[in-house]
Homo-oligomer: A and B are copies of this chain.
Amino acid sequence: MANKEIPYKIYLEESEMPKYWYNLRADMINKPAPLLNPETRKPMTAEELSPVFCDALIQQELDETTPYFEIPEEILNFYKMYRPAPLVRAYCLEEKLQTPAKIYYKFEGNNTSGSHKLNSAIAQAYYAKKQGLTGVTTETGAGQWGTALSMACAYLGLDCKVYMVKVSYEQKPFRREVMRTYGASVTPSPSMETEVGKKILAEHPGTTGSLGCAISEAVEKATSMPGYRYVLGSVLNQVMLHQTVIGLETKTAMDKYGIKPDIIIGCAGGGSNLGGLIAPFMGEKIKGEADYRIVAVEPETCPSFTRGKYAYDYCDTGMICPLAKMYTLGSGFIPAGTHSGGLRFHGMNPILSQLYDDGLMEAVSVPQTEVFKAAEEFARVEGILPAPESSHAIKVAIDEALKCKETGEEKTILFGLTGTGYFDMMAYEKFHDGKMVDYTPTEEELQKGFSYLPKMD
């Protein structure tokens, strides 16, 4: 199909939007390992999970056989407020690079939370509401997830308590205000509101907090208040399930115009956006119906796929969450302070971990200065100012397009542009002022992280 026939932006009709989420596990030959109870080391049951999570979400978390979950009408209606997300042909980037490659990106930033996080936030808030709950608690680091959840809760009239890592709370006051605009209560973590918060503050007065601590506070709060549950923005299989709306829309749009990607690229933190983007393509690959190169891009400061171990580990530093088998750097691994807050998680979604272990996808790690260089190059020609996280995918997409320039191959490259960088301008400022540095963890640091892995008999 000639270039001219493909619009700059492909928007599906509302009638073409996905009506089901796709549960990739149903088509996987090697299923991901089950979540384990950290005390008994036996698979977690729905009953054991129910004080923490909403019932419907527990079902989605544990289900390995149902291939499709119907998206409830209320969620579909919410999706219609900011979806379908455009699939964009990066004509201007192609021209700038002088590459024969065809580059497409699925842009998830056209909503106030600024990212794909809203896709799962509305689903989790919906099931909480349906269960008759009063509210939900969560943690947020960079703030995209907290914003998304606040928006979803405001829409449904659900209370929303966000524990925001103290350093972010102070450095990103505008993120905090967005959440307040949507009626959420935002507490800097660690706080005096929870036992775990008090304990941490007593032991480490003046600490600026961590995601692990914020998770612990949010979980404690949820389980200690009637009518509340805890929700999470990535890592879990349920989150990846909701995010398949990204890949399903992309596939429908590509099929409509007869486009078949050769390479699919996504940034990987907890893995939900990458998993959501690739799911329908990976399904075809597993079933032998098509072949795609699938590439996960992670920061070199937090290389769970490329330098981590495939092992059972805690999802949080407080070690109160279930054990998940995943590529991990150890729950005590502390990544260097880079500017991609959304990619600083020590582990990786269990489904993606299994797929990676099975050789069905690749992974690569990149330094942040190169990521920001790619981000700026992209912004200048394509208009959109990307989030640092998303720019990891841009960096590798550009690399692949330049390889095509050398070889003359007309490959079709698809990448996920998960969000915008409006609240990351402090990082861009550092980059412009030449003050941004790169960091590769030493072998020693990695070994120290692995020492936190639980001993499994």
CB pair A420–B7 under 8 Å, yes or no, is: no
- CA of A112 to CA of B173 in the docked complex: distance in angstroms? 20
Indicate if A381 sits at the interface (CB-CB under 8 A): yes
Q: In the complex this chain forms, how many copies of it are found?
A: 2
Indicate if A382 sits at the interface (CB-CB under 8 A): yes
Indicate if A29 sits at the interface (CB-CB under 8 A): no
Chain B residues whose C-beta falls within 8 Å of the C-beta of A426 in the assembled complex: 174, 177
- Nearest-neighbor residue (CB-CB) of A423 within chain B: B422
Number of interface residues of A (CB under 8 A): 43
**Interface hits, A129-164 → B, CB 8 Å:** 151, 154-155
**Interface hits, A73-89 → B, CB 8 Å:** 77, 80-82
Indicate if A399 sits at the interface (CB-CB under 8 A): no
- Nearest-neighbor residue (CB-CB) of A429 within chain B: B177
- CA of A382 to CA of B181 in the docked complex: distance in angstroms? 13
If A174-B422, A174-B426 touch, whether A181 touches B383 (CB-CB below 8 Å) is no
Chain B residues whose C-beta falls within 8 Å of the C-beta of A285 in the assembled complex: none
If A422-B422, A422-B423, A425-B173 touch, whether A112 touches B432 (CB-CB below 8 Å) is no
If A11-B11, A14-B8 touch, whether A383 touches B82 (CB-CB below 8 Å) is yes
Chain B residues whose C-beta falls within 8 Å of the C-beta of A420 in the assembled complex: 112
**Interface hits, A330-387 → B, CB 8 Å:** 376, 379-385
Indicate if A111 sits at the interface (CB-CB under 8 A): yes
As a 0/1 sequence over residues 419 to 440 of chain A, the CB contacts with chain B under 8 angstroms (1 = contact) are 0101101101100100000000
Indicate if A187 sits at the interface (CB-CB under 8 A): no
Q: Which one of B9, B174, B181 contacts A432 once the chains associate, using CB atoms below 8 Å?
A: B181
**How would you classify the secondary structure of chain A's contact residues: helix, strand, loop or mixed?**
helix
- CA of A282 to CA of B55 in the docked complex: distance in angstroms? 55
Indicate if A402 sits at the interface (CB-CB under 8 A): no
- Nearest-neighbor residue (CB-CB) of A11 within chain B: B11
CB pair B183–A383 under 8 Å, yes or no, is: no
Indicate if A200 sits at the interface (CB-CB under 8 A): no
**Interface hits, A204-251 → B, CB 8 Å:** none
Chain B residues whose C-beta falls within 8 Å of the C-beta of A292 in the assembled complex: none
A151 to chain B, nearest CB (A): 6
A283 to chain B, nearest CB (A): 28
Indicate if A41 sits at the interface (CB-CB under 8 A): no
- CA of A177 to CA of B429 in the docked complex: distance in angstroms? 6
Indicate if A92 sits at the interface (CB-CB under 8 A): yes
Indicate if A182 sits at the interface (CB-CB under 8 A): yes
A7-B13, A178-B425 are known contacts; what are 19 more A-B pairs with Cβ within 8 Å? A7-B80, A8-B14, A8-B81, A110-B110, A111-B383, A112-B379, A112-B383, A112-B384, A173-B429, A174-B425, A177-B426, A177-B432, A180-B429, A180-B432, A181-B379, A181-B385, A182-B379, A183-B380, A422-B422
Taking Cβ atoms with an 8 Å cutoff, the residues of A that contact B are 7-9, 11, 13-14, 77, 80-82, 91-92, 110-112, 114, 151, 154-155, 173-174, 177-178, 180-183, 376, 379-385, 420, 422-423, 425-426, 428-429, 432
